[in-house]
Amino acid sequence: MRFCPKCGAELKAGAKFCPHCGYQLTEKKTGEAASSATPKSAKPSDAEEAKGTAQKAMANGQQKPHKSTKRSKYGKWLVGVIVVIILVVVGYRQVYLPQMVKSTVVSNGFTSAKGYTVATNLSKHAIVVTADQDQLQNYSRSLAANHFDTRRLGVENQLSGLAHDVNSRALGTWRIAIAAKTNRGSGLMWEYDGTKESHRYQTTSECRQLHERYLEEKQAEQQQAQEADRDEKIGAGLLGGGIGLLLGGL
């Protein structure tokens, strides 16, 4: 009984082809037939499998250090970025910001030589300028010249310049204010929140009372002037009448 050397199917006597897989049968010797009949798609031997496994293991072993190198480079890059950010923040808060605020305050005329004391709070983004008595007298004269109404004063323009300069050169929204130091303490006069004026002395109840008092005084002056003019006219009339009677009697 014969069997196909490829698929192992039973063969009939004298068959030249395997009826199951179609393999061509030859008259070679059994050893030669078995050697030539080894299918091309046969599984690799154990030695070949071991060799392939070893090659894969070597390949994987070569790739691991590559991944580790990438991670190491990424970690160093991340640490470098963090260090740069810290240096920038520290430099901004400790060096740039104090110098910028100081120079901007001076350039806008708020100096001790002109009667101002400046207090700065960098963490709260606040600058408060306190005016002395001489500056308060200047403010009073300017307000009186404006009749204590809501017209803008020169000091407001000065404070506006400081607010715009600081808010354009520093991060965040800054509060810039002028306070008046009096016997009762420190009273707020003008204030900017960012670049917008948020408080004005001209709109306070105190300034409105001064404005009303000014109007009352002006009205009283006008009334006195009218009464004086009337009395003058009456006196002139009486004098003229007396002179006329005197001349008529002669």
- pLDDT, mean of residues 50-77: 63
206 or 234: whose pLDDT is higher? 206
Query: Hunting for tokens 């049968």 — which residue is that?
Result: 25
| Residue 37 pLDDT | 41
**Is there a domain that residue 61 lies in?**
no
Say whether pLDDT at 197 is over 60. Answer: yes
**Is there a domain that residue 200 lies in?**
yes
Number of compact structural domains in the chain: 2
The 10s digit of each residue's pLDDT in 79-95 is 889 999 999 999 999 99
**Is there a domain that residue 171 lies in?**
yes
One domain, residues 102 and 215: yes
**Is there a domain that residue 59 lies in?**
no
| Residue 112 pLDDT | 94
One domain, residues 178 and 87: yes
- Between 26-35, 56-65, 152-161, 162-171, the lowest mean confidence (pLDDT) is in 26-35
- Domain span including residue 210: 67-228
**Is there a domain that residue 11 lies in?**
yes
Give the confidence band of 144 by pLDDT, cuts at 50, 70, 90. very high
One domain, residues 27 and 149: no
One domain, residues 12 and 115: no
Q: Which residues contact 127 (CB under 8 A, 6 or more apart)?
A: 101, 105, 118, 119, 120, 121, 162, 166, 174, 175, 176, 177
One domain, residues 21 and 90: no
One domain, residues 19 and 133: no
One domain, residues 45 and 127: no
| Residue 10 pLDDT | 81
CB 134, CB 86: distance < 8 Å:
no
> How far is it, in rounded angstroms, from Cα 142 to Cα 136?
10
DSSP state of 20: T
- pLDDT, mean of residues 176-200: 88
Say whether pLDDT at 66 is over 60. Answer: no
- pLDDT, mean of residues 107-117: 96
Say whether pLDDT at 36 is over 80. Answer: no
**Is there a domain that residue 28 lies in?**
yes
**Is there a domain that residue 73 lies in?**
yes
Say whether pLDDT at 107 is over 60. Answer: yes
One domain, residues 10 and 81: no
One domain, residues 186 and 210: yes
| Residue 57 pLDDT | 54
One domain, residues 130 and 102: yes
| Residue 41 pLDDT | 45
| Residue 61 pLDDT | 52
One domain, residues 114 and 13: no
**Is there a domain that residue 172 lies in?**
yes
One domain, residues 30 and 154: no
| Residue 45 pLDDT | 53
179 or 18: whose pLDDT is higher? 179
Q: Which residues contact 89 (CB under 8 A, 6 or more apart)?
A: none
